[in-house]
Amino acid sequence: MSNSETSHGERFERCGDRIRPGRLAPGRAAMWLLAKLLRRLVQNGRLTIYDPCGETWHFGPGGEPAVSVRLTDKGLPARLLANPSLALGEAYMDGTLRIEAGSLRGLLSICTSDMDTIYALPGMRLIRMLDAFMARRLHHNPISRSHANVAHHYDISTELYDLFLDADRQYSCAYFPTGVETLDEAQALKKKHIAAKLLLRPGMQVLDIGSGWGGLAMELAQQHAARVTGLSLSTEQIAAARDRAARSGLSDRVAFERRDYREERGRYDRVVSVGMFEHVGRSGFDAFFATLQRVLTSDGIALVHAIGTMAPEGGSDPWIRKYIFPGGYLPTLSETIAAAERSGMWVTDVEVLRLHYAETLRHWSERFAAERETARTLYDERFCRMWEFYLAVCEMAFRNGRLMVFQIQLAKRRDSVPLTRDYIGETEAGQIDENISSVTSTRRAS
């Protein structure tokens, strides 16, 4: 770094509190305000910014991660102040924010180290107020809108997903009981964990809401002799899942239908939903749990696996909502359980997976980076930047922010599951207690 760069940075840091933004040109005033925020926000590592006016700014105590970025648009500092998530994501996509040293994940790690400071920004408070005012439209997903929302994200090239997902195409949080599992191992353990909570017996009818590419449905049919109906609104996913079931010889035990869960009229012993509840929308909670209550048999059990937030209120990120998951809504655990209880079902088990999705996303980011050139042949550079930002910002939201994953087990009867949780570990370990099978069989017969 040159002496002139150092002096510029030190001059602004030393005198910043005495500079009046009104005396500066609009672009410099916005940068001064952004710098004032970053001095509070950057609590670890070292962030260097080369601003559009030719000044150099340094933030943070030093150490790793160390990241240098160049801003090339004079309007960018103001947009970052007004809507940090949306402006940062769009700037990275458009190339008006260029990383000159370090990595995107390093930058996002620095920027998310103190999320409370970001949430307290006037612009963020205004965004939350507008979201609350527009909640009915933003997070309301009737069947027609649900089809369009799913097509936006899932009806893109399956080849893209094959670049970073595991061999089974599990596009949801994996399960890392020791933290050293490979992605494929962790996804296999996730399916095993869910199956254990479902208390399956041969011949049971299972409904999989949001069945993706069919991996979980096929596992339940193949390993537990269940008869599974998978629902998805994605044309691409349904076609791929049906093809896979046919090639595996499971078409007689697994059926995949392009149908909204609200249109389901069958009766099932078990219902499972993995990574789909986030797309229901706040106004759809009661309809979702009412559907589970309606389609389950009298001794039925359901398992809902979803991304949630421990923030006071649920919601959605502006950049994610615009570019990745339109109509998405990340619920709080409290509002989810309240909706489940309004349906008349018992909440029989709750588990919160905190850092498991951060590790899943780390694996996805690394795999995507290794196949980035292939992704660029499928789409273009801007798309690749969008996908990189999506995976990295989501990882940091789980690692440093308020996001987590929860699994809620529900039953129509309070005695449909054993009295303690011991059966989950025993089943996963292959030590299935015969008493569980006999007790649940007796209850079902009654």
Per DSSP, the residues of 379-437 read S-HHHHHHHHHHHHHHHHHHHTSSEEEEEEEEESSTTSS-SSTHHHHHHHTT---HHHH
The phi, psi pair for 408, rounded to 5°, reads: -115, 125
Q: 350: which 2 tokens?
A: 């709750």
How many whole angstroms separate alpha carbon 128 and alpha carbon 132?
A: 6
Active site residue 394: yes
Distances from the Cα of 223 to the Cα of 184, 188, 227, 349, 430, angstroms = 17, 12, 11, 23, 12
Q: Where are the alpha helices (DSSP H) in 264-380?
A: 285-295, 318-323, 333-342, 356-370, 372-378
Residue 189 near residue 254, CB atoms below 8 Å: no
Q: Which positions ≥6 away from 237 have C-beta within 8 Å?
A: 154, 211, 212, 213, 214
The phi, psi pair for 161, rounded to 5°, reads: -65, -30
The active-site residue, picked from 111, 173, 384, 394, is 394
Q: Which positions ≥6 away from 316 have C-beta within 8 Å?
A: 131, 138, 139, 325, 328, 329, 330
Decide: helix, strand or coil at residue 336.
helix
Comparing CA positions, the residue from 76, 78, 35 lying closest to residue 59 is 35
Distances from the Cα of 3 to the Cα of 7, 9, 39, 63, 169, angstroms = 6, 10, 21, 21, 52
Comparing CA positions, the residue from 124, 105, 9 lying closest to residue 57 is 9
Could you tell me the strand order of the sheet in which 205-209 lies?
254-258, 227-232, 205-209, 268-274, 296-309, 403-411, 346-353
Catalytic residues: 394
